[in-house]
Amino acid sequence: MARILVTDGMDKKAAAQLKEMGHELVEQHYAPEELKEELKSFDAVIVRSATKVRQEIIDAALETKQLKLIIRAGVGLDNIDVPYAMENGIQVNNTPNASSASVAELAIGHMFAISRYIHISNVTMRNGEWNKKAYKGIELAGKTLGLIGFGRIAKETAKKAHALGMKVLYTNRSGAKEGYDQYTFVSMDELLKKSDFISLHIPFNKEAGAVLSTKEFEMMKDGVYLVNCARGGVVDEEALIEALDSGKVAAAAVDVFEEEPTKNQKLYTHEKVSLTPHIGASTKEAQARIGEEIVDIVKNFFA
């Protein structure tokens, strides 16, 4: 049976199942230098977003060649040097199906928050302020939502937005998708120009950098609303702050940041920004589904 390290926590039921299957489970978070040493004695490691498995970590594990499997308990793999691990005989898996509904619900929730001033009125009322006249919002129904990326989470978001009466546009590197005729595939430029709300659903590519920066903000409608529950870095934070200050962006919702925990005080104190601390997949239901996927991955890999 396998010796498995869980660095960022996991669903208790799933952990119990792995132990029942005979695997040794160690649930402990390590700093990078400690992780280099500890990983040498494990067959598999399960991480979330907090633990980074970079080349130097993998190199250390390769000294004993015991590590055979890395599991990302979530969707994004940008905290793992996947090609390098795979080239060196270490399998990398994620759990792509588990959190789609949860992240989509958070994105929609943020749209309600910024369109109806829920985010800021919740703060000002606690300060004893009654700013009723200042908080004239807009309805989601009848507005155009542009989705950048059209994977599992974006499709869930589209379904929920469509049910609310929104017109949905999407752009995707692989082109239009069959079976989604209720939504409209457009180019990136057209999406930026036509959308009242824009929501990102793409991974972060370090080499490519931000997908939305000054040039892209200039193409958007005046008073557009922006939601990022995808990955930190896909939106240039400084360019976003400038767009918020100028009024180009009416309000933004941000769940993911260039640096986490974020130290960007201009962003996290901005009255036009609705904030959450990277909680897209943080529901009981999503974590249970992630746990189920992890159990299946481990079961199949070490069969």
Beta bridge partners of 24: 3
- Segments of the chain assigned E as strands: 3-6, 24-27, 44-47, 69-72, 91-94, 144-148, 167-171, 184-185, 197-200, 224-228, 249-254, 273-275
CA angle (114 as vertex; 132, 142 as ends), nearest 5: 100
Provide the token pair at 259.
């640096």
In which element (H, E) is residue 14 found? helix 12-20
d(CA 196, CA 227): 11
d(CA 193, CA 222): 9
d(CA 25, CA 43): 11
Angle subtended by helix axes 12-20 and 284-301, to nearest 10:
20
Provide the token pair at 260.
């986490």
| Helix, strand, or coil (residue 115) | helix
Residue 221 DSSP symbol: P
109 with 156: CB under 8 angstroms?
A: no
> Which residues are marked as active site?
231, 260, 278
d(CA 274, CA 199): 14
112 with 165: CB under 8 angstroms?
A: no
